[in-house]
């Protein structure tokens, strides 16, 4: 069973290894790439004020790496007095790799699930580094809870150049396509159309598997039919969802 991975190649190898371990054949077709900011002055200024914040929320490993890249560049330390929340075990592990043990990781790996674990946010400042395409739901929820979100763009999400080998595999037929974010799904449709493929009627009639409900909603909005959504919003959960897609052709 050939499974397409659409996340950036530098973030895909552990997923590919997990697929091989379960007997799948991974096909790399990155649809997005993560890039540094063209103008990092705003995030550098925000990091200079980070010590004034009560919480810092990291919603992805991309946000962690982007922030630590700027901390390294500016020579600023991560302030001791700021409590840290992380969405998802991978994000938590990346923070730990930088010497930060998160104070809170929600059981459900969704942005909105993080608020109950932060306590009373009234008047509290919350540092929130996000990608340039991130939705505004979390900052709005923080404001509704009485908090003061310091929302800053930490990195850019750009369309990838189509991988020739991955494109050839899609032309010949694959069994499943996986999406780990809304941007991977949207750009998948765009890249295939540019390559002259119909993303909605691909050879092999591949199943579409998404890492969570927000990604699934974005895939559906892009016109794709979603066959499976991970119950646990992790790569492991996505693997379990893939197992359930095997009979979808019959």
Residue extent(s) of CATH 3.40.50.10090 domains in the chain: 2-31+161-249, 35-158
Residue 10 pLDDT > 90? no
The C-alpha torsion from 71 through 72 and 73 to 74, rounded to 10°, is: 50
State which fold the 35-158 domain adopts. Answer: Rossmann fold (3.40.50)
Confidence of residue 47 (pLDDT cuts 50, 70, 90): very high
CATH number assigned to the domain with residue range 2-31+161-249, chosen from the 4 options 3.40.50.800, 3.30.499.10, 3.40.50.10090, 3.90.226.10? 3.40.50.10090
The C-alpha atoms of residue 207 and residue 173 are separated, in whole angstroms, by 11
Residue 111 pLDDT > 80? no
pLDDT score for 247: 52
Confidence of residue 250 (pLDDT cuts 50, 70, 90): very low
Segment 66-93, tens digit of pLDDT: 999 999 999 999 999 999 999 888 899 9
Give the range among 24-33, 206-215, 226-235 with minimum mean pLDDT.
226-235
Q: What is the pTM of this model?
A: 0.85
Give the range among 68-72, 88-92, 127-131, 162-166 with minimum mean pLDDT.
88-92
Residue 246 pLDDT > 70? no
């Amino acid at each position: 069973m050939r499974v397409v991975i659409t996340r950036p190649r530098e973030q895909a190898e552990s997923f590919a290894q997990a697929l091989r371990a379960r007997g799948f054949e991974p096909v790399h077709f990155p649809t997005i790439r993560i890039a540094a900011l063209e103008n990092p002055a705003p995030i550098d200024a925000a990091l200079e004020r980070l010590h004034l914040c009560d919480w810092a929320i990291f919603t992805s490993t991309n946000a962690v790496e982007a922030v630590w890249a700027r901390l390294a560049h500016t020579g600023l330390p991560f302030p001791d007095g700021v409590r840290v929340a992380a969405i998802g075990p991978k994000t938590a592990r990346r923070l730990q790799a930088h010497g930060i043990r998160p104070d809170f990781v929600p059981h459900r790996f969704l942005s909105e699930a993080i608020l109950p674990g932060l306590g009373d946010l009234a008047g509290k400042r919350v540092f929130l580094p996000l990608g340039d395409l991130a939705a505004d739901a979390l900052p709005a929820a923080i404001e509704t809870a009485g908090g003061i979100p310091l929302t800053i763009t930490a990195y850019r999400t750009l369309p990838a150049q189509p991988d020739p080998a991955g494109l050839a595999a899609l032309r010949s037929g694959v069994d499943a396509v996986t999406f780990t974010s809304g941007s991977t799904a949207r750009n998948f449709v765009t890249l295939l159309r540019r390559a002259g493929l119909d993303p909605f009627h691909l050879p092999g009639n591949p199943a579409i598997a998404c890492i969570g409900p927000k990604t699934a909603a974005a895939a559906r909005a892009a016109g794709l039919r979603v066959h499976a959504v991970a119950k646990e919003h992790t790569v492991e959960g996505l693997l379990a969802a893939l197992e359930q897609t095997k009979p979808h052709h019959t």
